[in-house]
Amino acid sequence: MTVPKIKILIVEDDIFMMKLYAKVFELEGFEVTSAVNGQEGLLHVYKENPTVILADIMMPEMNGLELLGKIKADPLTKKIPVIILTNLAGKTESDTAIAKGAIKYIVKSEHDPKEVVAIVKEVLATIK
């Protein structure tokens, strides 16, 4: 019996950072899909049905908080855990993200990519 891979959706407009996180998650055995903005990310949510979503806040077309709001407002997607992964270290943004339904708020500059993978694994362990 094969265990299904855990699907990660990374929504990040910085292509370098997106590829960096995708590579680290792939090396850990995750299946990764990426999007460069919230609008594209929302399409992937419905198409891919990810296990967990990592979303930046500052993005063109639809920012991460708008994306989070749309995911949590839809009964089909509201149970998907969303982790905000951003460089915005402000308490206001963090509080807003958690209030809108983010399961975690990670500041990129405070965690290297392997630490982010470890945090995602911890989150996944609590929701299974």
CATH number of the structural domain spanning residue 27: 3.40.50.2300
Question: Which of the 8 DSSP states describes residue 1?
Answer: -
- For residue 35, the one-letter residue type is A
Q: Is residue 2 part of a domain?
A: no
Whether residue 128 is contained in a domain is answered as: no
Share of the chain above pLDDT 90, in %: 81
pLDDT at 48 over 50: yes
Residue 27 included in any domain:
yes
Q: What is the mean pLDDT of residues 99-115?
A: 93
Task: DSSP letter for 101, please.
Answer: T
pLDDT at 90: 78
In a domain, 63, yes or no: yes
Q: What is the pTM of this model?
A: 0.93
C-alpha distance across the termini of the chain, in Å: 19
Looking at the structure of the chain, the number of domains it has is 1
Residue 41, in any domain of the structure: yes
In a domain, 69, yes or no: yes
Residue 92: pLDDT band by 50, 70, 90 thresholds? confident
The mean per-residue pLDDT over the stretch 72-91 comes to 92
pLDDT > 70: percent of the chain: 96
pLDDT at 96: 92
The whole-number average pLDDT for the span 40-54 is 95
In-domain check, residue 13 = yes
In a domain, 91, yes or no: yes
Give me the domain span that covers residue 81. 7-122
Exposure string (b/e) for 11-40, b if CB count within 10 Å is 16 or more?
Answer: bbbeeebbeebbebbeebebebbbbbbbbb
Please report the pLDDT score of residue 1 as a whole number. Answer: 46
Q: Is beta strand 7-11 parallel, antiparallel or unpaired with respect to 31-35?
A: parallel
